[in-house]
Structure 1
Amino acid sequence: MSEEVRTIEIQLDGVPCQVAPCTLAELVQRLGHASEGVGTALNGRFVPRGQRDRALQPGDAVLLFKPIVGG
């Protein structure tokens, strides 16, 4: 008997994407990004690295971007 893998649909950088249920931090890791090497926004709001433990919900819009360092 095979186990069915459940997925949810989110928007990832503006593109519909099916992913296994996970947190924003887990998604960043699964996509191969170092936590400190990418900025994140969820549903139009910036999410600091320390607050990426929120579980993604169907329909969430995730944006990944390079952090900008000013001087």
Structure 2
Amino acid sequence: MKLQINGEPVDIQIGTLADLLEARGFGEAKVATAVNGQFVPASARADFAISDGDRIEVLAPMQGG
């Protein structure tokens, strides 16, 4: 399945957003996620199915100021 993750094309076989985060090394990291411009809360990731062509954004919080 072809996806875009943070603007980078990726070819990966994955079922859910939670699976994708684990496969990409985010595991239990505190991140914000969006699929096709729609915010996906952490509580919904395990049930959020990923489809071919989806655009996924994974954002980590910034520290400092």
TM-score higher than 0.5 here?
Answer: yes
Is the Cα–Cα contact under 8 Å of residues 23 and 54 in structure 1 kept in the other structure?
Answer: yes
Distance 1:21 1:65 in 2: 19
Distance 1:11 1:65 in 2: 14
Aligned to 2:48: 54
Q: Which runs of 5+ in 1 are unaligned?
A: 1-7
Identity value in percent: 36
Q: Deviation above 4 Å: which 4+ runs of structure 1?
A: none
The structure with higher relative contact order (CA 8 Å, sep 6+) is 2
1:43 deviates by: 0.4
- Relative to the length of structure 1, the TM-score reads 0.75
Question: For this pair of structures, how many residues does the alignment match?
Answer: 62
Q: Which runs of 5+ in 2 are unaligned?
A: none
Q: Mark the structure with the bigger radius of gyration.
A: 1
Q: CA RMSD in A?
A: 1.7
1:35 deviates by: 3.2
Tell which deviates more after alignment, 25-34 or 56-65. 25-34
